[in-house]
Chains A and B, each alone.
Chain A
């Protein structure tokens, strides 16, 4: 099962349908990545306009989810996919849900960005956010890459990276708590930052789910909820 491809079906339309699902998923992934990046930038640069844009564009992500899900249902109904095809379609429907959730988290971050911008500029907590956002973006990009190439090994490596995020998240939380203790007036503001950090951590979890789906497609093993991950 090393070189998994979804071509060469006797029905070439089937090839096209699967390819379309896959590329739509990649597009959605790209869109979600962009959303995340913009949301984080909106916080760091205190750019309320950008934050507004992110919130607006979330609707587009939701529409993409619906479209890809429908395409998957149609493929199941019409082609009765089996084996690798079946795994691909099932994994895509799961991955789409994760991407949509990532989109939602990005929207939440953007909302907090709006609040933070309104309460005036302050560099407090941005280092943590930027640091964590970088790792999360990286892990999201890696998992999307693994999905694009159906690279189970890369996916497994990325899964390991998620542990680093968890650690970063805990460190960030501790630091933010320290800020609050140092300056109780900043509690409201730091709480917002905490929510952002929390969202970033959740995005990391969803990216991890994507990697698990890559492993499912390639190896046929469902490693969700299994030990070690």
Chain B
């Protein structure tokens, strides 16, 4: 199946875009950087406790789309989001909605592990502190411990909580970032290529963690590794040139994708 890039890209996505128990639902989302349009008419649901993987070639807009889900795009000048993005029925781009509150509900884990140059404890405690989630030191200790436990990091760091987080290994740093994100108990966690800077063993640990986290959180993950998407996600969305081409259950996408562009991408036939 030779993928010809000249071929017109369909405006209609194929597959199962919608979910009966949607936590976040996006309808006809268009995102612009100045005059340049990065995302075209994307409609998608992310279900409760679902792991949604977003894959696609570089520059396909998957990260842009992910970042629009907790309005990290706000920090980029000239970035404009048109369309509906709602979480539990609440419009995220409503002018009445406070972006600080939103980001406490939609956490984010970034490509490069980026712990603050502070102690491990302070890294995890930062979110609860600024949002005033802990009433006392004891509360805070408890939150820190449970977050680190949930991020499967507690046993490795419990004796060095007050040493700098930047002293951990790459994989541990990324798990620390996950612990930091879940410390404010968000509803949704966005992960932007969380393993791209990690070795395979650290990657496996994060993937294992994603599996566990999906019991309590809804997760949207952007990844360049198709195998990773295949391993961790429940549904996979394929983006191409700013359009959502296909959304389907992961097992289907990786054995029998519906759209030939998806097929071309996951079999490594991109021209």
Contact = CB atoms under 8 A, between A and B. Distances in A.
**Do any beta carbons of A and B sit within 8 angstroms of each other in the complex?**
yes
B246 to A, nearest CB: 11
Interface in B223-240: 226-227, 230
A11 B269 CA distance: 8
A82 interface: yes
A177 to B, nearest CB: 46
Contacts of B254: 82-83, 86
A1 interface: yes
B2 A7 contact: yes
Contact of A8 (B2, B253, B255): B2
A220 B255 contact: yes
B1 interface: yes
Contacts of B270: 10
A78 to B, nearest CB: 12
Interface string B181-210: 000000000000000000000000000000
Given A8-B271, A9-B267, A83 B2 contact: no
A119 B61 CA distance: 77
A90 B269 CA distance: 19
B256 interface: yes
Q: Which of A8, A9, A10 is most buried by chain B, counting CB atoms within 10 A of its CB?
A: A8
Interface in A170-191: none
Nearest to B264: A8
A80 interface: yes
A4 interface: yes
Interface in B54-98: none
Interface in B1-16: 1-3
A83 B227 contact: no
Interface string B255-271: 11100101100111111
A84 B263 contact: yes
Given A80-B227, A82-B226, A82-B266, A5 B256 contact: no
A85 to B, nearest CB: 5
B5 to A, nearest CB: 12
Given A80-B227, A82-B226, A9 B268 contact: yes
Given A82-B254, A83-B257, A87-B256, A8 B266 contact: no
Contacts of B271: 8
A7 B226 CA distance: 20
A213 to B, nearest CB: 14
A36 to B, nearest CB: 33
Contact of A82 (B1, B3, B260, B267): B267
A49 interface: no
Contacts of A82: 226, 230, 254-255, 266-267
Interface string A110-132: 00000000000000000000000
A9 B269 contact: yes
Nearest to B260: A1
Interface in A67-85: 79-85
A221 B256 CA distance: 9
Contacts of A81: 267
Contacts of B257: 83
A221 to B, nearest CB: 8
Given A8-B1, A83-B257, A83-B263, 9 more contacts: A1-B260, A8-B271, A9-B268, A10-B269, A82-B230, A83-B255, A85-B267, A220-B256, A221-B256
Interface of A: 1, 3-5, 7-11, 14, 79-87, 220-221
Interface of B: 1-3, 226-227, 230, 253-257, 260, 262-263, 266-271
25 contacts: A1-B1, A4-B1, A5-B1, A8-B269, A10-B269, A10-B270, A80-B227, A81-B267, A82-B226, A82-B230, A82-B255, A82-B267, A83-B253, A83-B256, A83-B257, A83-B262, A83-B263, A84-B1, A84-B263, A85-B267, A86-B254, A86-B255, A87-B255, A87-B256, A221-B256
Top 8 A-B residue pairs of the complex, sorted by shortest distance between their CB atoms: A220-B256, A82-B266, A8-B2, A85-B267, A8-B269, A82-B254, A83-B263, A83-B267
